[in-house]
Amino acid sequence: MKFKNILVVYSEKLSRKHFDNLAEVKKRLEGRNFFVLRADRLIEKYFENIDLIITVGGDGTFIRAASFVKEIPIIGINSESEHSEGALLSLDEHDIKFLGEILDDKHKIKKIPRIKVKINGKELSNLALNEIYFGSLNQFHTSKYSINFNGLKEEQRSSGVLVATASGSTAWYKSARGRPFKGNKLRFIIREPYFGNRIFNPKLLKGEIKNGGKIIFVSKRHSGGIIALDSNYKYKLEKDDTVEVEMSEYPLKVITKKL
């Protein structure tokens, strides 16, 4: 696979090592058509006619760039592996010297599931790679909603709901006492569900959403409800807004090294 137009996205890190590694990436791309943009300046128009994205930074930069694309392949380079987990990234700073040959022929493509969201029947343009959060904007406020899953429906109060992909299951989802998982599926977990003495006795506390399935929420807050994608994009919800969450038909295409 040959790449004609490459977008290099770099993080706002200020360390010398980060910028040295960014310079090394640009050196390895000499002779190719590429341009460079800082992650906080990304907008949709910069992805027109691009057939490869390279991110230089950490997972946050990778996730932000990935949210703009449906079918463009992406490669993530961890520019400071001693400081950044880089759980989603294909390469670290020691691999940059091989970048040319990786892009020419010594690579494979891994497909990572993503999440799509509809609000009142309208699909959002951005996709989530790790997780979506549904609940209250201020998390010290109670999230109020109804949940509909696998033919069961109930009204709940909680600290919100997380729906995660396998790649996101080792992040916020795990911190919320979810168990990391693998495979082409989603899982949801209710954060700190409220059990009342009389009205609230929730049973839909966690579950697995297979490809083709969905989970539906209806916001019951008069104000302050949101859905957030990868802690990156927030959408306000009004009372009785309906949110549908399911697997996207566009998995992220991640370039990795051939073993």
| Complete DSSP assignment for the chain | ---SEEEEEE-----HHHHHHHHHHHHHTTTSEEEEEEGGG--GGGGTT--EEEEEE-HHHHHHHHTT-SS--EEEEES-TTT---TT-SEEGGGGGGHHHHHHTSEEEEEE--EEEEETTEEPS--BSSEEEEEESSTTSPEEEEEEETTEEEEEEES-EEEEETTTTTTHHHHTTPPP--SSEEEEEESS----SSS------EEEEETT-EEEEEE--SS-EEEEETTTEEEEE-TT-EEEEEE-S--EEEEEE--
Closest CA to 96 of 16, 8, 35, 167: 8
Assigned token pair, 148: 């509909």
The catalytic residues are 59
